[in-house]
Amino acid sequence: MSGTRGPRVAIIGCGLGGIAAAVKLKKKGLTDFTVFEQSDGPGGTWWDNRYPGCEVDIASHAYSFSFLTYDWTRTHAGQEELQRYTEHVLDRFDVRRHCRFGVRVESATWDDETARYEVRLADGTAEPFEVVISCLGLLSRPRYPDWPGLDRFEGPKFHTARWEHEHELTGKRVAVVGTGSTASQVVPAIAGKAGQLYVFQRQPGWVLPKDERDFTPRERALFRRLPFVQKVRRLFMFWKFRMLFKGYNPHGRTQRKILRLCHEYLEKTVEDPKLRAQLTPDYPWACKRPVLSTGFYPALNRPNVELVPHAVTRVTPNGIVDATGVERDIDVLVMATGFQTTKFLASLDVRGTGGVSIHDTWKDDPRAFLGITVPGYPNFFMLYGPNTNGGFSVIAQLERQAEVAARTVATMRRKRFRAVDTRPSATDRWVRWVDGQIRKNTSSSDGSCTNYYHAESGRNVTQWPKPHGEYYLLTKALPFLGFIKVR
């Protein structure tokens, strides 16, 4: 173990996960770490996603770190404010000097003899680290469609997470493909500009309004002067989500109540009965990620917006073809088609004991103890790993994972361990328990909806099946059962 400051730690990714890991290490007095980030700045998903209308759909006071109060300007922060927030946290905890931006990590290979990872960078150089914390995020790799003809489309075409702002949309014929959380923000933001906007919907989602607004100057002054009011508001929101979470039971009263609210909202907001029918899902609420959007339904009422209730199957040089074979001429193609969510660590070659690749260990069925560690990969931690998405605020989930990593590294330093690994039996028990919980809720694979939760194995590998509180307690209580000293 190097120096007195503890093991050398590589944090990969400087989104909110990487920042959480850095702050938690610092709070434990562990300062020998480097944060590698392939982009030219921090923010992760909020750096990548700059599409018109980009705004978080979880309330700002919950979608933020618990260890810092902040002067949010809106109930739900927009991309620019979230970007400013990440920069603020970075500076507030003096993390920036640990960051290396524009540096992509390609692989981390464990060496049994030295009890270290060789971390190889895209420029061909390599550096040794005793601990690696991967913070790559779940929603970082766009899912580009494989439609025939896409390459030959002659107009601008881009994914929402790689928005090309140089293209003027005013008066243009634009197609937005997808009706998930992203599309529901893009559509109202560009509907007033486009001459004609086609929205392609493969399967409708359940939608409720987000109720976003600016905080009044009085509210902001109150939150600034009495930070505990912010904390109370945060706790209240987590409690409210606990109540809402009862709706994840497909047979419960809350599910029925939420469905009623969704129907009422649709009825009240969408004028045309035919359009309402096309927008009505036929599966339980929260089978897909519920959409929270105040502007989406009203935008579909506009005369220049047409909902096409079919999948896209093909693209021509000047148009787009739906599953019924109808072609529509378009100038710009926007792919709001989501992310490659089930291929964890897809961009990172992680090799553990005996040089075995983590992708060979998983065989398309990613699993991890607490969603954080994998047997055979000593001193390797993951944030936003398998079955950790959900629980209300992903930032709260990330904080818990960062704490487990930082606590374990601090223990290694204190007890002079060189390597800790994860018990396979603890991992198996954890995964069995998670699977059992998922079977009880609406995000399980009963085939009634399409969602991005299921790997090729058919297992739901992305979702955390409970509110955040359970994850909080389990990540405090269980690590001692799973981690063992190996060196």
Interface residues with ligand NAP (CB under 6 A) are 56-58, 139, 145, 177-183, 200, 202-203, 289, 311-312, 336-339, 450, 452
- Is 379 or 463 the residue whose CB approaches ligand NAP more closely? 463
- Is 89 or 336 the residue whose CB approaches ligand NAP more closely? 336
Least distance to ligand NAP, CB of residue 444, Å: 16
- Is 281 or 375 the residue whose CB approaches ligand NAP more closely? 281
- Is 336 or 372 the residue whose CB approaches ligand NAP more closely? 336
Residue 304: which H helix or E strand, with range? none
Nearest Cα residue to 81 out of 91, 70, 97, 92: 70
Least distance to ligand NAP, CB of residue 54, Å: 7
- Is 270 or 335 the residue whose CB approaches ligand NAP more closely? 335
> Would you state the structure tokens that stand for residue 387, as one six-digit string?
């079955």
- Is 32 or 212 the residue whose CB approaches ligand NAP more closely? 212
Least distance to ligand NAP, CB of residue 292, Å: 7
DSSP letters spanning 12-61: E--SHHHHHHHHHHHHTT---EEEEESSSSS-THHHH---TT-B-SS-TT
Question: CA separation (Å) from 153 to 74, 329, 332, 436?
Answer: 39, 11, 9, 45
Least distance to ligand NAP, CB of residue 136, Å: 15
Least distance to ligand NAP, CB of residue 382, Å: 18
Least distance to ligand NAP, CB of residue 343, Å: 14
Least distance to ligand NAP, CB of residue 389, Å: 7
Report the relative pairing of strands 131-134 and 380-382 from DSSP bridges. Answer: parallel
- Is 102 or 148 the residue whose CB approaches ligand NAP more closely? 148
| Torsion sign, CA atoms 354, 359, 363, 368 | positive
Angle at 388 between CA 470 and CA 129, to 5 degrees: 115
Angle in degrees, 0-180, between the axes of helices 394-415 and 468-477, rounded to the nearest 10: 10
Helix, strand, coil share (%) of the chain residues, nearest 5: 35, 20, 45
Sequence-distant (6+) residues with CB within 8 A of 60 are 70, 72, 74, 75, 76, 77
